[in-house]
Protein backbone atom coordinates (compact mmCIF):
# COMPACT_ATOMS: atom_id res chain seq x y z
CA UNK A 1 0.00 0.00 0.00
CA UNK A 2 1.31 3.43 -0.78
CA UNK A 3 1.62 5.99 1.95
CA UNK A 4 -0.45 9.05 0.98
CA UNK A 5 2.36 11.22 2.34
CA UNK A 6 4.94 9.67 0.03
CA UNK A 7 4.32 12.53 -2.25
CA UNK A 8 4.97 15.16 0.38
CA UNK A 9 7.92 14.13 2.48
CA UNK A 10 11.24 12.39 1.92
CA UNK A 11 11.39 8.72 2.90
CA UNK A 12 14.68 8.97 4.83
CA UNK A 13 16.26 11.47 7.18
CA UNK A 14 17.54 13.94 4.56
CA UNK A 15 15.84 16.31 2.14
CA UNK A 16 15.80 15.06 -1.43
CA UNK A 17 15.34 16.72 -4.81
CA UNK A 18 13.42 14.73 -7.38
CA UNK A 19 11.35 15.20 -10.51
CA UNK A 20 7.70 16.05 -9.90
CA UNK A 21 6.70 14.15 -13.04
CA UNK A 22 8.77 10.93 -13.10
CA UNK A 23 10.23 10.94 -9.53
CA UNK A 24 13.81 10.53 -10.83
CA UNK A 25 16.38 11.97 -8.40
CA UNK A 26 18.08 15.20 -9.45
CA UNK A 27 21.78 14.77 -10.21
CA UNK A 28 22.64 18.33 -9.23
CA UNK A 29 23.84 19.37 -12.67
CA UNK A 30 20.66 20.16 -14.55
CA UNK A 31 17.99 22.80 -14.05
CA UNK A 32 15.18 20.33 -14.89
CA UNK A 33 14.63 16.61 -15.43
CA UNK A 34 15.50 14.79 -18.65
CA UNK A 35 11.77 13.96 -18.96
CA UNK A 36 10.96 17.67 -19.10
CA UNK A 37 9.49 17.78 -15.59
CA UNK A 38 10.60 20.16 -12.86
CA UNK A 39 12.33 19.16 -9.65
CA UNK A 40 10.69 19.36 -6.23
CA UNK A 41 12.31 19.38 -2.81
CA UNK A 42 10.96 16.88 -0.27
CA UNK A 43 11.93 17.15 3.39
CA UNK A 44 11.88 14.41 6.01
CA UNK A 45 8.54 14.44 7.75
CA UNK A 46 8.75 16.29 11.08
CA UNK A 47 6.54 15.02 13.92
CA UNK A 48 4.68 18.34 14.01
CA UNK A 49 4.73 21.61 12.10
CA UNK A 50 7.87 23.19 13.55
CA UNK A 51 7.42 26.20 15.83
CA UNK A 52 9.00 29.12 13.96
CA UNK A 53 12.29 30.23 15.52
CA UNK A 54 13.33 33.77 16.43
CA UNK A 55 15.58 34.06 13.36
CA UNK A 56 15.72 37.60 11.92
CA UNK A 57 14.71 36.23 8.54
CA UNK A 58 11.07 35.40 7.92
CA UNK A 59 12.31 32.59 5.68
CA UNK A 60 14.95 30.99 7.89
CA UNK A 61 12.72 30.99 10.98
CA UNK A 62 10.92 28.20 9.10
CA UNK A 63 14.27 26.70 8.10
CA UNK A 64 13.43 23.09 9.01
CA UNK A 65 10.83 23.06 6.26
CA UNK A 66 12.82 25.21 3.82
CA UNK A 67 16.38 23.87 3.83
CA UNK A 68 17.10 21.85 6.96
CA UNK A 69 20.70 22.09 8.12
CA UNK A 70 21.61 25.20 6.10
CA UNK A 71 24.22 26.57 8.49
CA UNK A 72 25.18 29.81 6.76
CA UNK A 73 22.26 31.09 4.71
CA UNK A 74 22.85 34.00 2.34
CA UNK A 75 20.29 36.23 4.01
CA UNK A 76 19.61 39.96 3.89
CA UNK A 77 17.48 39.20 6.07
CA UNK A 78 14.13 38.99 4.24
CA UNK A 79 10.47 38.33 5.02
CA UNK A 80 8.62 39.31 8.22
CA UNK A 81 6.48 41.56 6.06
CA UNK A 82 3.40 43.37 7.37
CA UNK A 83 -0.20 42.22 6.99
CA UNK A 84 -2.38 45.31 6.78
CA UNK A 85 -6.05 46.23 6.41
CA UNK A 86 -7.44 49.43 4.90
CA UNK A 87 -11.15 50.15 4.74
CA UNK A 88 -10.86 51.89 1.34
CA UNK A 89 -9.48 48.73 -0.23
CA UNK A 90 -11.94 46.40 1.52
CA UNK A 91 -14.93 48.45 0.41
CA UNK A 92 -13.54 48.71 -3.13
CA UNK A 93 -13.38 44.91 -3.37
CA UNK A 94 -16.68 44.67 -1.45
CA UNK A 95 -15.76 41.64 0.68
CA UNK A 96 -16.31 40.95 4.39
CA UNK A 97 -12.68 41.32 5.38
CA UNK A 98 -9.57 42.01 3.34
CA UNK A 99 -5.96 41.82 4.39
CA UNK A 100 -2.94 42.74 2.29
CA UNK A 101 0.32 40.88 2.82
CA UNK A 102 2.86 43.43 1.63
CA UNK A 103 5.72 41.51 0.08
CA UNK A 104 6.93 44.76 -1.46
CA UNK A 105 8.41 45.43 1.99
CA UNK A 106 11.15 42.88 1.36
CA UNK A 107 14.74 44.18 1.04
CA UNK A 108 14.71 44.52 -2.75
CA UNK A 109 11.02 45.39 -2.87
CA UNK A 110 9.41 42.10 -3.90
CA UNK A 111 8.59 38.60 -2.70
CA UNK A 112 11.42 37.24 -4.85
CA UNK A 113 13.85 37.76 -1.96
CA UNK A 114 12.18 34.89 -0.09
CA UNK A 115 13.00 32.46 -2.85
CA UNK A 116 16.35 33.98 -3.66
CA UNK A 117 17.79 33.56 -0.16
CA UNK A 118 17.20 29.81 -0.50
CA UNK A 119 18.36 29.49 -4.13
CA UNK A 120 21.56 31.49 -3.63
CA UNK A 121 22.32 29.57 -0.43
CA UNK A 122 22.00 26.37 -2.49
CA UNK A 123 24.17 27.86 -5.26
CA UNK A 124 26.96 28.58 -2.78
CA UNK A 125 26.87 25.15 -1.15
CA UNK A 126 26.86 23.46 -4.55
CA UNK A 127 30.03 25.34 -5.53
CA UNK A 128 28.55 27.60 -8.24
CA UNK A 129 30.62 30.59 -9.31
CA UNK A 130 28.02 32.25 -11.53
CA UNK A 131 24.24 32.49 -11.24
CA UNK A 132 21.66 33.51 -13.83
CA UNK A 133 17.98 34.15 -14.31
CA UNK A 134 15.50 35.32 -16.90
CA UNK A 135 13.25 37.97 -15.49
CA UNK A 136 10.49 40.48 -16.01
CA UNK A 137 12.50 42.55 -13.52
CA UNK A 138 11.98 41.63 -9.88
CA UNK A 139 13.84 38.34 -9.98
CA UNK A 140 16.80 40.10 -11.61
CA UNK A 141 16.83 42.78 -8.90
CA UNK A 142 16.70 40.17 -6.17
CA UNK A 143 19.32 37.91 -7.75
CA UNK A 144 21.59 40.93 -8.19
CA UNK A 145 21.47 41.69 -4.48
CA UNK A 146 21.85 38.12 -3.24
CA UNK A 147 24.62 37.24 -5.71
CA UNK A 148 26.48 40.32 -4.58
CA UNK A 149 26.16 39.28 -0.92
CA UNK A 150 27.46 35.82 -1.80
CA UNK A 151 30.29 37.07 -4.03
CA UNK A 152 28.93 35.32 -7.13
CA UNK A 153 28.78 36.70 -10.67
CA UNK A 154 25.21 37.25 -11.84
CA UNK A 155 23.81 37.29 -15.37
CA UNK A 156 20.23 38.49 -15.81
CA UNK A 157 18.28 38.01 -19.03
CA UNK A 158 15.46 40.53 -19.41
CA UNK A 159 13.03 41.29 -22.25
CA UNK A 160 14.43 44.37 -23.96
CA UNK A 161 12.30 47.48 -23.36
CA UNK A 162 9.76 45.68 -21.16
CA UNK A 163 11.21 45.98 -17.68
CA UNK A 164 10.03 48.64 -15.21
CA UNK A 165 12.60 51.34 -14.47
CA UNK A 166 13.07 50.65 -10.76
CA UNK A 167 13.87 46.99 -11.38
CA UNK A 168 16.34 47.69 -14.17
CA UNK A 169 18.07 50.27 -11.98
CA UNK A 170 18.34 47.79 -9.11
CA UNK A 171 19.88 44.95 -11.08
CA UNK A 172 22.45 47.31 -12.56
CA UNK A 173 23.22 48.96 -9.23
CA UNK A 174 23.64 45.67 -7.37
CA UNK A 175 26.20 44.63 -9.95
CA UNK A 176 24.39 42.02 -12.04
CA UNK A 177 25.29 41.91 -15.74
CA UNK A 178 22.05 42.78 -17.52
CA UNK A 179 21.47 41.17 -20.92
CA UNK A 180 18.55 42.86 -22.69
CA UNK A 181 17.22 40.07 -24.90
CA UNK A 182 15.48 41.06 -28.13
CA UNK A 183 12.41 38.98 -27.36
CA UNK A 184 9.86 38.48 -24.61
CA UNK A 185 10.27 36.90 -21.16
CA UNK A 186 9.53 33.45 -22.54
CA UNK A 187 12.39 33.78 -25.05
CA UNK A 188 14.68 35.10 -22.30
CA UNK A 189 13.86 32.08 -20.12
CA UNK A 190 14.60 29.64 -22.94
CA UNK A 191 17.99 31.33 -23.37
CA UNK A 192 18.75 31.32 -19.63
CA UNK A 193 17.85 27.62 -19.39
CA UNK A 194 20.14 26.83 -22.33
CA UNK A 195 22.94 28.87 -20.73
CA UNK A 196 22.49 26.92 -17.53
CA UNK A 197 22.57 23.54 -19.30
CA UNK A 198 25.43 24.30 -21.65
CA UNK A 199 27.54 26.89 -19.83
CA UNK A 200 27.05 25.52 -16.34
CA UNK A 201 25.70 28.66 -14.66
CA UNK A 202 23.39 28.08 -11.70
CA UNK A 203 19.79 28.93 -12.71
CA UNK A 204 17.83 30.89 -10.10
CA UNK A 205 14.43 31.07 -11.81
CA UNK A 206 11.39 29.72 -10.00
CA UNK A 207 11.71 26.41 -11.86
CA UNK A 208 14.52 26.01 -9.30
CA UNK A 209 12.86 24.06 -6.46
CA UNK A 210 14.72 25.98 -3.72
CA UNK A 211 12.98 29.16 -4.84
CA UNK A 212 9.67 27.45 -4.12
CA UNK A 213 10.89 26.36 -0.68
CA UNK A 214 11.70 29.94 0.29
CA UNK A 215 8.48 31.37 -1.11
CA UNK A 216 6.34 28.93 0.88
CA UNK A 217 7.05 31.09 3.91
CA UNK A 218 4.82 33.88 2.56
CA UNK A 219 1.80 31.64 3.11
CA UNK A 220 2.94 30.39 6.52
CA UNK A 221 3.79 33.86 7.79
CA UNK A 222 0.44 35.17 6.55
CA UNK A 223 -1.47 32.39 8.34
CA UNK A 224 0.60 32.92 11.48
CA UNK A 225 -0.33 36.63 11.42
CA UNK A 226 -3.98 35.51 11.36
CA UNK A 227 -3.30 33.25 14.37
CA UNK A 228 -3.72 30.31 11.98
CA UNK A 229 -7.40 31.18 11.46
CA UNK A 230 -7.60 30.22 7.82
CA UNK A 231 -9.30 32.80 5.58
CA UNK A 232 -11.70 31.67 2.87
CA UNK A 233 -9.42 32.93 0.10
CA UNK A 234 -5.82 33.88 -0.64
CA UNK A 235 -5.43 35.91 -3.85
CA UNK A 236 -2.17 36.41 -5.71
CA UNK A 237 -1.01 37.55 -9.15
CA UNK A 238 0.17 34.74 -11.41
CA UNK A 239 2.79 34.78 -14.16
CA UNK A 240 5.28 31.91 -14.38
CA UNK A 241 3.26 30.18 -11.59
CA UNK A 242 6.21 29.77 -9.24
CA UNK A 243 4.43 31.59 -6.45
CA UNK A 244 1.13 29.78 -7.05
CA UNK A 245 3.09 26.51 -6.78
CA UNK A 246 4.80 27.70 -3.58
CA UNK A 247 1.48 28.54 -1.95
CA UNK A 248 0.08 25.15 -2.95
CA UNK A 249 3.05 23.33 -1.41
CA UNK A 250 2.99 25.46 1.76
CA UNK A 251 -0.69 24.76 2.34
CA UNK A 252 -0.32 21.04 1.54
CA UNK A 253 2.51 20.70 4.07
CA UNK A 254 0.77 22.76 6.76
CA UNK A 255 -2.35 20.61 6.47
CA UNK A 256 -0.46 17.31 6.36
CA UNK A 257 1.33 18.27 9.58
CA UNK A 258 -1.89 19.29 11.30
CA UNK A 259 -1.02 22.99 11.54
CA UNK A 260 -4.28 23.86 9.71
CA UNK A 261 -7.41 21.74 9.39
CA UNK A 262 -8.43 23.05 5.99
CA UNK A 263 -6.81 25.05 3.22
CA UNK A 264 -7.97 28.43 1.92
CA UNK A 265 -9.04 28.59 -1.72
CA UNK A 266 -6.31 30.05 -3.90
CA UNK A 267 -7.27 32.73 -6.38
CA UNK A 268 -4.59 33.14 -9.07
CA UNK A 269 -5.09 36.33 -11.06
CA UNK A 270 -3.68 37.03 -14.50
CA UNK A 271 -3.79 40.05 -16.79
CA UNK A 272 -6.22 39.42 -19.65
CA UNK A 273 -3.45 39.97 -22.22
CA UNK A 274 -1.27 37.34 -20.53
CA UNK A 275 -3.78 34.77 -19.34
CA UNK A 276 -2.89 31.26 -20.56
CA UNK A 277 -3.52 29.78 -17.10
CA UNK A 278 -6.93 31.46 -16.76
CA UNK A 279 -7.90 30.22 -20.23
CA UNK A 280 -6.87 26.67 -19.33
CA UNK A 281 -8.73 26.85 -16.01
CA UNK A 282 -11.93 27.72 -17.91
CA UNK A 283 -11.33 24.53 -19.93
CA UNK A 284 -10.76 22.48 -16.75
CA UNK A 285 -7.04 22.30 -17.51
CA UNK A 286 -7.66 19.89 -20.38
CA UNK A 287 -4.63 21.29 -22.24
CA UNK A 288 -1.56 23.45 -21.72
CA UNK A 289 -2.12 26.91 -23.21
CA UNK A 290 0.51 29.38 -24.39
CA UNK A 291 -0.07 32.92 -25.66
CA UNK A 292 1.90 35.87 -26.92
CA UNK A 293 1.66 38.07 -23.83
CA UNK A 294 0.93 41.79 -23.59
CA UNK A 295 0.00 43.78 -20.48
CA UNK A 296 0.89 46.99 -18.66
CA UNK A 297 1.58 44.80 -15.63
CA UNK A 298 5.01 43.91 -17.03
CA UNK A 299 5.93 41.68 -14.07
CA UNK A 300 3.35 39.13 -15.24
CA UNK A 301 3.80 39.60 -18.98
CA UNK A 302 4.34 35.86 -19.47
CA UNK A 303 2.81 33.66 -22.17
CA UNK A 304 4.25 30.24 -21.34
CA UNK A 305 4.24 29.69 -17.56
CA UNK A 306 7.14 27.40 -16.62
CA UNK A 307 5.64 25.94 -13.43
CA UNK A 308 2.48 24.80 -15.22
CA UNK A 309 1.95 21.34 -13.72
CA UNK A 310 2.62 22.35 -10.15
CA UNK A 311 0.44 25.43 -10.63
CA UNK A 312 -2.43 23.21 -11.79
CA UNK A 313 -1.91 20.99 -8.76
CA UNK A 314 -2.06 24.00 -6.41
CA UNK A 315 -5.35 25.18 -7.89
CA UNK A 316 -6.91 21.71 -7.89
CA UNK A 317 -5.87 20.86 -4.32
CA UNK A 318 -7.23 24.12 -2.91
CA UNK A 319 -10.46 24.16 -4.93
CA UNK A 320 -8.89 27.27 -6.36
CA UNK A 321 -9.92 29.62 -9.14
CA UNK A 322 -7.96 31.35 -11.89
CA UNK A 323 -9.31 34.57 -13.32
CA UNK A 324 -8.16 37.21 -15.80
CA UNK A 325 -8.70 40.94 -15.30
CA UNK A 326 -8.10 43.79 -17.73
CA UNK A 327 -5.23 46.25 -17.44
CA UNK A 328 -7.82 48.92 -16.65
CA UNK A 329 -9.12 46.91 -13.69
CA UNK A 330 -5.56 46.28 -12.49
CA UNK A 331 -4.56 49.94 -12.70
CA UNK A 332 -7.75 51.17 -11.00
CA UNK A 333 -7.23 48.70 -8.14
CA UNK A 334 -3.63 49.89 -7.91
CA UNK A 335 -4.77 53.51 -7.67
CA UNK A 336 -7.05 52.58 -4.74
CA UNK A 337 -4.28 50.65 -2.96
CA UNK A 338 -1.83 53.49 -3.62
CA UNK A 339 -4.21 56.22 -2.41
CA UNK A 340 -4.81 54.22 0.78
CA UNK A 341 -1.17 55.00 1.57
CA UNK A 342 0.03 51.48 0.93
CA UNK A 343 1.13 51.35 -2.69
CA UNK A 344 2.21 48.47 -4.88
CA UNK A 345 3.38 47.83 -8.43
CA UNK A 346 0.79 47.14 -11.17
CA UNK A 347 1.01 43.32 -11.17
CA UNK A 348 0.47 43.21 -7.40
CA UNK A 349 -2.85 45.03 -7.70
CA UNK A 350 -4.16 42.20 -9.88
CA UNK A 351 -4.84 40.36 -6.60
CA UNK A 352 -7.33 42.99 -5.40
CA UNK A 353 -8.77 43.45 -8.91
CA UNK A 354 -9.36 39.70 -9.12
CA UNK A 355 -11.11 39.65 -5.75
CA UNK A 356 -13.37 42.51 -6.82
CA UNK A 357 -14.24 40.69 -10.06
CA UNK A 358 -15.01 37.37 -8.34
CA UNK A 359 -17.07 39.11 -5.67
CA UNK A 360 -19.09 40.87 -8.39
CA UNK A 361 -19.82 37.54 -10.10
CA UNK A 362 -20.72 35.91 -6.76
CA UNK A 363 -17.91 33.34 -6.53
CA UNK A 364 -16.55 35.17 -3.48
CA UNK A 365 -19.32 35.61 -0.89
CA UNK A 366 -20.18 38.92 0.82
CA UNK A 367 -18.84 37.75 4.20
CA UNK A 368 -15.76 35.95 2.90
CA UNK A 369 -12.40 36.85 4.43
CA UNK A 370 -9.75 37.37 1.82
CA UNK A 371 -5.98 37.84 2.00
CA UNK A 372 -4.35 39.51 -1.01
CA UNK A 373 -0.63 39.23 -1.65
CA UNK A 374 0.93 42.51 -2.77
CA UNK A 375 3.99 41.13 -4.48
CA UNK A 376 6.00 44.27 -5.27
CA UNK A 377 6.62 47.84 -4.11
CA UNK A 378 5.06 51.00 -5.57
CA UNK A 379 8.46 52.41 -6.54
CA UNK A 380 9.27 49.48 -8.81
CA UNK A 381 7.34 51.07 -11.67
CA UNK A 382 7.23 54.87 -11.38
CA UNK A 383 6.42 55.27 -15.09
CA UNK A 384 3.15 53.37 -14.61
CA UNK A 385 2.14 55.80 -11.84
CA UNK A 386 2.97 58.90 -13.86
CA UNK A 387 1.15 57.59 -16.93
CA UNK A 388 -1.96 56.63 -14.96
CA UNK A 389 -2.26 59.99 -13.22
CA UNK A 390 -1.68 61.90 -16.44
CA UNK A 391 -4.74 60.13 -17.87
CA UNK A 392 -8.30 61.25 -17.26
CA UNK A 393 -9.43 58.51 -14.89
CA UNK A 394 -11.71 59.24 -11.92
CA UNK A 395 -8.82 58.53 -9.58
CA UNK A 396 -6.12 60.44 -11.43
CA UNK A 397 -4.15 62.96 -9.39
CA UNK A 398 -1.68 64.75 -11.67
CA UNK A 399 0.86 67.26 -10.35
CA UNK A 400 -0.07 70.92 -10.96
CA UNK A 401 2.55 73.41 -12.09
CA UNK A 402 2.31 76.80 -10.34
CA UNK A 403 4.10 80.14 -10.06
CA UNK A 404 6.06 80.61 -6.82
CA UNK A 405 3.12 82.58 -5.47
CA UNK A 406 0.99 82.00 -2.35
CA UNK A 407 -2.23 82.90 -4.17
CA UNK A 408 -1.75 79.90 -6.44
CA UNK A 409 -1.49 77.69 -3.35
CA UNK A 410 -4.63 79.25 -1.88
CA UNK A 411 -6.55 78.55 -5.09
CA UNK A 412 -5.62 74.88 -4.90
CA UNK A 413 -6.82 74.65 -1.29
CA UNK A 414 -10.12 76.33 -2.21
CA UNK A 415 -10.69 74.02 -5.17
CA UNK A 416 -10.74 71.10 -2.74
N1 LIG B 1 4.06 39.80 -8.96
C2 LIG B 1 5.25 40.33 -9.24
C3 LIG B 1 5.53 41.72 -8.73
C4 LIG B 1 6.20 39.61 -9.98
O5 LIG B 1 7.38 40.16 -10.23
C6 LIG B 1 5.88 38.33 -10.44
C7 LIG B 1 6.84 37.54 -11.23
C8 LIG B 1 4.63 37.80 -10.12
C9 LIG B 1 3.75 38.56 -9.38
C10 LIG B 1 4.19 36.45 -10.57
O11 LIG B 1 4.84 35.42 -9.90
O12 LIG B 1 5.86 34.31 -11.87
O13 LIG B 1 5.75 33.17 -9.65
O14 LIG B 1 3.70 33.51 -11.01
N15 LIG B 1 7.95 38.00 -11.63
C16 LIG B 1 9.00 37.21 -12.26
C17 LIG B 1 10.25 38.02 -12.41
C18 LIG B 1 8.58 36.52 -13.49
O19 LIG B 1 11.05 37.76 -13.30
O20 LIG B 1 10.49 38.92 -11.59
P21 LIG B 1 5.05 34.00 -10.65
- pLDDT tens-digit readout, 62-92: 999 999 999 899 999 999 999 999 999 999 9
Q: 5 pLDDT exceeds 70?
A: no
CA-to-CA dists, residue 292 to 67, 96, 307, angstroms: 36, 37, 17
CA nearest ligand 1 atom 1, residue: 375
Q: Which atom of ligand 1 is nearest to the CA of 167?
A: 20
This prediction's pTM? 0.97
Q: How far separated are the first and last CA of the chain, in Å rounded?
A: 72
Q: How far apart are CA 2 and CA 225, in angstroms?
A: 35
Residue of the CA atom closest to atom 9 of ligand 1: 237
- Cβ pair 139, 240 in contact under 8 A: no
Q: Residue 274: is its pLDDT beyond 80?
A: yes
Ligand 1 centre from 412 Cα, in Å? 40
pLDDT band with cut points at 50, 70 and 90 for residue 6: low
Whole-number pLDDT of residue 2: 44
Angle (nearest 5°) at CA 24 between 21 and 30: 95
Write the pLDDT tens digit of every residue in 189-224: 999 999 999 999 999 999 999 999 999 999 999 999
Minimum mean pLDDT among 255-264, 360-369, 390-399: which range?
390-399
DSSP 210: H
**DSSP string covering 76-108:** S------EE--HHHHHHHT-SEEEEEEGGGSTT
Instruction: Provide the b/e sequence for 340-366 (b: ≥16 CB within 10 Å).
Output: bebbbbbbbbbbbbbbbbbbeeeebee
CA–CA gap between residue 229 and residue 173 (Å, rounded): 41
Q: What domains lie within the chain, and their CATH numbers?
A: 1-45 (no CATH), 83-109+211-389 (3.40.50.1100), 111-208 (3.40.50.1100)
Instruction: Report pLDDT digits (tens) over 109-132.
Output: 999 999 999 999 999 999 999 999
Compute, in angstroms, the gap from residue 401 CA to the centroid of ligand 1: 36
In this prediction, residue 7 has a pLDDT band, given cuts at 50, 70 and 90, of: confident
Write the CB contacts of 416 (distance below 8 Å, at least 6 apart in sequence).
none
Per-residue model confidence (pLDDT) at position 4: 47
**Ligand 1 binding residues, C-beta < 6 A:** 110, 112, 135-139, 206, 237-244, 299-300, 345, 347-348, 375-376
Distance 243 CA to ligand 1 centre (A): 8
CB contact at 8 A, 189 and 208:
no
Count other Cβ atoms within 10 Å, centred on residue 323: 24
Taking the CA of residue 139 as reference, the ligand 1 atom at the shortest distance is 20
What does the alpha-carbon distance between residue 28 and residue 89 come to, in Å, rounded to a whole number?
45
Sequence-distant (6+) residues with CB within 8 A of 242 are 115, 205, 206, 207, 211, 212, 215, 306, 307
Contact 59, 215 (CB under 8 A): no
Task: For 10-28, write each residue's pLDDT tens digit.
Answer: 999 999 999 999 999 998 8
Dist CA 277 CA 109 (whole Å): 26
Amino acid sequence: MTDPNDDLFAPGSRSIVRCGSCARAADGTSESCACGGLFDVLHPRPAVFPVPTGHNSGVWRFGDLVMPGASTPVSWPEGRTPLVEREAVRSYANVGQLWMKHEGMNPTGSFKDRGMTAAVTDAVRSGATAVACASTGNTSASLGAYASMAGLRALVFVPQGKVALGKLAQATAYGAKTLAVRGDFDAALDLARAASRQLGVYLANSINPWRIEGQKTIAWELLEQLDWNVPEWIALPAGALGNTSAFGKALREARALGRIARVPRLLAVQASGAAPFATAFAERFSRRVTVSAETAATAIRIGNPASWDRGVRAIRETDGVVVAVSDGEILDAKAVIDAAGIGCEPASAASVAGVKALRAQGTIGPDDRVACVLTGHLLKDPDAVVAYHAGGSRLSNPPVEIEPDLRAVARILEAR
